[in-house]
Structure 1
Amino acid sequence: MKPIRVLIVDDSPVVQSVLTTLLSSNSDIEVVGAASDAFDAKDMIIEKRPDVVTLDVEMPRMDGITFLKRLMSFRPIPVIMISSYTWENSMRTLEAMDIGAVDFIAKPREDVKTGLWKLKHEIITKVRTAARTRIKPYGLFGKNGKRVPAASMTNSDKIIAIGASTGGTRAIERLLGSMPPNVNGIVIVQHMPARFTRAFAQRLDTLFPMDIKEANDSDRLNRGKVLVAPGGLHLQMAEDHREYYVRLQDGPPVKHQRPSIDVLLNSVAKTAASNAIGILLTGMGNDGADGLLAMRQAGAFTVAQDEATSLVFGMPAAAIKLGAVEVVAPLDDIPDIVLSRLKSG
């Protein structure tokens, strides 16, 4: 089996050196070169034909976002963004995901060399996953789907729990784009570090009419409210006097994830039982599969994104294999399926 050919694009010699050594330590990965700016990267992509590119957000002469747009328009290739922990870069990284980047790695704020080595498992896993993804040219993804009028909603008080990982930011945007402003309360776990989840929630809030925010402990999940689990904390559903709210906990990672989709969905199964809808979107690994099964066994309606529209089919496939999924559907069909279920009670 041929090794995964990786091109590193970063203006930091330290990052270039660490990533080269780290990735090359695996027999199934070959680093074919390192470029310090977008112009060198363009030439090396044509010459080396890499399978995956790691791309720094901040670079001289042309920033990573501008280069990514050009790359996705003319030569789509799996790209993993390398971003530092700043608010501005968090928002730019989310923009990169919308353009077509497969995933991102949060660059350590201090002692980059040691910090990157601590992320070895995450980096290698994301490179391997990226190499298996299907990339479309930028501009062929379409805009968010049709807006559903508020009048089409019913008085159902079911809550909606959504889990996503790799490719999930764009999938969630498309799903919310076809939901009405007064949609039932939605809670989301998207695998993402702290700070980035806050930026993600703020971005969603600027795009859609719902009240969307990063969750705080004890936030109520009312109609028209969308809560995003904060990076670094687990989110669980709770209930008092027939009103749902969230609890945040700093427990150990579950399936290498915190927040964990399983933690959320298991709590929804216990708290809401049949009064809930569970949705599992694109992502690597199997987080969410057990939780979705618990929801279905508790009487909830469960949906998974199909393989054709998933950037990575790992999580949905794992849930389907377990028998946790009632309906498997293309991403753009899921909003209508969910709204129809809400109407039917």
Structure 2
Amino acid sequence: MKKIRVMLVDDSATVRQVLSEVLSTAPDIQVIGTAADPLFALQKMNRDWPDVLVLDVEMPRMDGITFLKKLMAERPTPVVICSTLTEKGASTTLQAMSAGAVEVVAKPTLGVKRFLQEAQDDLIRSVRAAAHARSRMILRQESVPPKFSADAVVAAPDKVTLHQTTDKIVAVGTSTGGTQALEVLLTRLPRTCPGLVIVQHMPEKFTAAFSDRLDGLCNIEVREARNGDRVLPGLALIAPGGFHLLVHRSGAQYQVKVEQGPAVNRHRPSVDVLFRSVARCAGGNALGIIMTGMGDDGARGLREMREAGALTLAQDEATSVVYGMPREAVRMQAVDRSLPLQALSEKIVHFGMGKLRRG
């Protein structure tokens, strides 16, 4: 079995030691070196280039973002950001994600050693996801927690046909590579586009900074969802990290619920939970889009949306950083059409104008 060769770059000797111990428990991962800063890392990498880099962003001599931009310009390599869980850290980490990092693991300011040991499964999954990533595109044998389905949070949609309304809704789900993909998708949308509800797999505290960053780049309004928010044209609501996002119908209007509940497909927020709730309340008034990401979260929910009358799209393999979630949705016959990332924004606009239908 070919192992995933990993380099660890962090100015904390404790973090380097614990990360090395945690990742070495996986039979398919090999830590080939560690470094206290990017300059030391480059010296080692030039002798033995890793498959995946695990990188802190706040380090001496050269910060992680400068290093990441240099890396992506000269020799693109999958990168997992392991960053401090603070508001300042969140903003910095999102700059790194925009620069090309494909995964993020948040670490607290205190109790880092214990946290990293307890986050073993997430760390290993993040490295594996990065190893599968198409880093050129910048635009288990260990124990795992129970894998709940969306049944744990929201009941399956019934067979009652829903009436068409003037309000339309677009539901989007994504994971690895999604921070860059959502930037491409949302920056191309006009203020007249239908309202969007979005799940991006991301830790707590990072989604608020992520939403704020997108809001500054887009013509539409983008913000972290709050309980009771109405889904409105020209508005994109992003699920807060650590909470599920659900849609319900109030008359002819759509509103969101933000709630915890168990992790579904080992994620909270879960794409399956969002898609199922949209299937239940919106039916043919909705458009479902599944984008780049590892795993199968969202595939079942997208099929439920399609069965309820919604049009469903998937990002194609050529433009996906990781073609895991879209592949599973296609395999489950949940997708009407697979399209390049750059074409999805136009389809959202056409959907809002009533020009996009099945067939």
The SS at the match of 1:49 is coil
* Structure 1 Cα separation of the partners of residues 339 and 60 of structure 2: 43
Q: Are 2:173 and 1:163 equivalent residues in the alignment?
A: yes
* RMSD value, Cα: 1.3
1:27, distance to aligned residue in structure 2 (A): 2.1
Corresponding position: 1:31 with 2:31: yes
Q: Which residue of 2 aligns with 1:145?
A: none
Q: Normalising by the residue count of structure 1, what TM-score does the alignment of the two structures yield?
A: 0.93
Partners of 1:7 and 1:53 within 8 A in 2: yes
Q: 1:316 aligns with which of 326, 336, 343?
A: 326
| Partners of 1:209 and 1:343 in 2: CA distance | 18
Partner of 2:123 in structure 1?
Answer: 123
Shift of residue 48 of structure 1? 1.4
Contact 2:137 2:319 in 1 (8 A): no
Amino acid at match of 1:191: H
Q: What does the per-residue CA deviation read over 1:118-153, in whole Å, with 9 as the maximum and x for residues that have no partner?
A: 111111111112112221276xx3xxxxxxxxxxxx
For the 8 Å contact 1:229–1:259, the answer to whether it is kept is yes
3-state SS in 1 of match to 2:176: coil
What is the CA–CA distance in structure 2 between the aligned matches of 1:137 and 1:264, rounded to whole Å? Answer: 27
Residue 107 of structure 1 and its aligned partner are, at CA, apart by: 1.0
**Which residues of structure 2 form unaligned runs of 5+?**
140-164
2:287 aligned to which of 262, 269, 277: 277
Q: Which residue of 1 aligns with 2:11?
A: 11
Paired position in structure 1 for 2:40: 40
Match of 2:236 in 1: 226
Task: State the one-letter code of the partner of 2:24.
Answer: S
8 A Cα contact 1:166 1:311, kept in partner? yes
Distance 1:197 1:59 in 2: 23
1:178 pairs with 2:150? no
Equivalent in the alignment of 2:54: 54
In the TM superposition, structure 1's runs of 4+ consecutive aligned residues that sit over 6 Å from their partners are: none
| Identity across matched positions, percent | 48
**Aligned equivalent of 1:86:** 86
1:175 offset after TM fit, Å?
Answer: 0.6
Match of 2:339 among 325, 329, 333: 329
Q: Aligned in 2, Cα 1:344/1:220: closer, same or farther, shift over 3 Å?
A: closer
Structure 2 length-normalised TM? 0.89
Aligned to 1:290: 300
Taking the TM superposition and a 5 Å limit, the aligned residue runs for 1:207-218 are 207-218=217-228
Map of 2:102 onto structure 1: 102
| Maintained 8 Å contact 2:189/2:219 | no
Structure 2: how far apart are the matches of 1:14 and 1:208?
Answer: 40
Alpha-carbon distance in 2 for matches of 1:125, 1:47: 27
Q: Distance in 1 between matches of 2:259 and 2:106?
A: 22
2:259 alignment counterpart: 249
Task: Using the TM superposition, give the Cα deviation of residue 182 of structure 1 relative to its aligned residue in structure 2, in angstroms.
Answer: 2.1
- Cα deviations by residue, 1:230-266 (Å, 9 ceiling, x for unpaired): 1111111011121111011110000000011111110
Secondary structure, aligned partner of 1:308? helix
1:196-215 counterparts in 2 under 5 A? 196-215=206-225
SS at match of 1:114: helix
Question: What's the counterpart of residue 134 of structure 1?
Answer: 134
- Aligned-partner SS, 2:318: coil
Q: Which residue of 2 aligns with 1:148?
A: none
Gaps of 5+ in 1: 142-154
